[in-house]
Each structure stands twice: as C-alpha cells, then as structure tokens.
Amino acid sequence: MITTSTNQHLSIRNPLLVAFRADVVRGLRGPVKTLPCKYFYDAAGSELFEQITELEEYYPTRTELAIMREHAPAMAAHLGQRCLLIEYGSGSSLKTRLLLDHLVHPAGYIPIDVSGEHLQRSAQALAGDYPGIDIRPLCADFTRPLRLPELSKPEARRVVYFPGSTIGNFTHQEALLLLRKTALLCGGGGAVLLGADMRKDPRVIERAYNDHHGVTARFNSNLLVRINRELGADFNVEQFSHRAFYDSAVGRIEMHLISRRAQSVHIDGETFFFQPGESIRTEYSHKYSLRGLCQLAEASGLESRRVWMDKRHYFSVNYLAVKAQVAC
C-alpha cells in the first residue's frame, strides 16, 4: 500500500503550502490561538469577500470607490507624468482602473498579488484595455522583500497604491515596518497612495462585520474549510461560530471563531485542543483617525500631503510622500 499522503507530497514541491502549514500550526500552538487573515483569500474566500463588498452593511468598498471616482483626476495629478505605479494586493484592479484612466504617460504598472491565477487573468484584461501601459504582474507576498521587474521606460517617480484598507489588518508595529520598507522601495520623490478605513460610530463599524445574511460568518469559517482541504486537517466547521466586535479603545475590529464545545483538531500529526468558548482570532481590522495616519506616515519616513474623503468621513485615501532624506 502506498501511504504517502497527498499533502506531504504537495508540500515538498509547493513552498506556499509549506508556509501555510507552518503559519497555521504556529498560530494554534500558543496560549491565545490565532490564524493569519491573509489566508482568507482562496477562490471561495475571494468570492465571499466580493459578496461582502456588496452588502448593505459593509460600507468601506463602496465608499472608497466613490472617493476614487470623484478624485481620481486629482490623485493622478499628484502622481504626475511618467509615474511607475505599483499596487499591493491588486486583486481585480477595479479601483486602479480609475487611476490608470487619468495617468499621463505612465512608465508602467506592477500589480502584486499572491494569487497567481487571479493576477494573470486581471493583468491580461488590463493589457487589453490599456494597450499603451507596460503592465508587469508580480506574483508575490508584498510583506516580503520584493524584486521588481525591469521596465522598458524610465520612471519619474515610484508610487505604491495600497487601497482597500488592507493596512488595517496590520498591527501598528507591522504597519510601520511595512510602510518604512515601502518608502525605501519608492525612494526619493516617491509616494504611497493609501486607502484607510476611519474611526466612526462603533455601531456602524460593528454592523459591517456582522451582516444579517451571515456572509461575513461564512467568510470567516471558510478559513477552516481551506485548512481542512489544503492541509488535510479535520476541523468540524459547524462547531465554530463567528464573532466580531469593535474595541473602541484600540480602534479595531477583532474577528474570532469560537469553539462551541470541547473538541480537538488534528493537523499534520499534531493535536490541538479547544475548550468550550475558546476562540481563534482570525483578523484585526484597524480603523484610523487622520492624526493616527499622519503619525504613522511620519514614523515611516513619509509625510501626508493630501487626503481625500467622503462627506461622512467614513474612509480616506491618503497621498503620503517619501520624506527627503536628511543628510547626516
């Protein structure tokens, strides 16, 4: 009998799967169980997130899109001519199209995403719609060191577009390190165009993560479905319930999966025990104030030059310029 499991076989050839398994078991071993939110986005998870963005309760995506629709020309003016646009977590590049529509002689566009298939498909669609723009998709995790592809035209400045309030998934410290690295990547004259969800009435925020159709709950528990499928684990998905709450002191949503009873789960020969009511924290979603954003920018070697917001001040898009290097 051949006993080599498919998972072990795959893991040898697939470094992404190796990292996934290591991250999952590390997160579940600690006294406080956590799972990294970046793993929400398999095909089913991406589809569920698309559904979330259309929910009545989930305001961020439509608010950010409205800001982009209204202010893309002004943003493009800030980016200037011959700009190289780099995007973190590009997905379907829907918001980016609004920018590309207004850029003057861009040096190129580098969409970065971990989902290779999705990236290729949307890059191909973009290439068809923007034949004049040099589009070089990069399949990578933008939190890791990046090697940018070579472009045929020289750029006047590099701008990283980081929309969607994905910055909210990072702790203050992680956000700071990521923006610092990004400032270095862009270099002098460069900038970050950052989309961030703002602090507001906690009831509005909490509703956005507890929709009455239960789509967010399915999005949350799909992480366990994915772990079962890709890592051969045996989570009883029905025995974990969705919980999301806003911590107004810190200014963030915490999303958890709560064990409904005492149970155990096996992953890769290791057993993980759950008490009744014990939680796995699956996501932080930090909400910002304008002052918090300015401070974060400042500490990262950036300075806030311009902010675009909707009327209700629910969401902001920030032009953060790389600060001139001070000679020492």
* Footprint on this chain of ligand AVJ (rule: CB under 6 A): 52, 60, 164-166, 168-169, 209, 216, 283, 285
> Taking the complex as a whole, how short is the minimal distance between the CB of residue 8 and ligand AVJ, in angstroms?
32
For residues 273 and 261, the answer to whether their CB atoms sit within 8 Å is no
> Taking the complex as a whole, how short is the minimal distance between the CB of residue 141 and ligand AVJ, in angstroms?
15
Give alpha helix (H) positions in the chain.
6-13, 15-29, 43-53, 60-79, 94-100, 116-129, 172-186, 202-208, 215-231, 290-299
Q: Which is nearer to ligand AVJ, 60 or 137 (CB)?
A: 60
Q: What count of residues does the chain have?
A: 328
Q: Which is nearer to ligand AVJ, 98 or 223 (CB)?
A: 223
Phi-psi region of 257 (alpha: psi -120 to 50; beta: other; left: phi over 0): beta
> Taking the complex as a whole, how short is the minimal distance between the CB of residue 53 and ligand AVJ, in angstroms?
8
Q: Which is nearer to ligand AVJ, 272 or 308 (CB)?
A: 308
Considering only CA atoms, which of 183, 158, 165 is closest in space to residue 298?
183
> Taking the complex as a whole, how short is the minimal distance between the CB of residue 94 and ligand AVJ, in angstroms?
13
Mapped onto helix, strand or coil, the DSSP state of residue 245 is: strand
Q: Which is nearer to ligand AVJ, 163 or 190 (CB)?
A: 163
Q: Which is nearer to ligand AVJ, 215 or 227 (CB)?
A: 215
> Taking the complex as a whole, how short is the minimal distance between the CB of residue 23 and ligand AVJ, in angstroms?
17
Q: Which is nearer to ligand AVJ, 81 or 143 (CB)?
A: 143
Q: Mind giving me the DSSP string for 260-317? A: SSSEEEEETTEEEEE-TT-EEEEEEEE-B-HHHHHHHHHHTTEEEEEEEE-TT--EEE
Q: Which is nearer to ligand AVJ, 267 or 293 (CB)?
A: 293
> Taking the complex as a whole, how short is the minimal distance between the CB of residue 281 and ligand AVJ, in angstroms?
13
Look up tokens 């629910």; give the residue: 314
Q: Which is nearer to ligand AVJ, 103 or 215 (CB)?
A: 215
Look up tokens 């795959």; give the residue: 10
> Taking the complex as a whole, how short is the minimal distance between the CB of residue 317 and ligand AVJ, in angstroms?
14
For residues 110 and 83, the answer to whether their CB atoms sit within 8 Å is no
For residues 20 and 39, the answer to whether their CB atoms sit within 8 Å is yes
For residues 285 and 310, the answer to whether their CB atoms sit within 8 Å is no
Q: What is the dihedral of CA 268, 269, 270, 274, to 10 degrees?
A: 90
> Taking the complex as a whole, how short is the minimal distance between the CB of residue 256 and ligand AVJ, in angstroms?
12
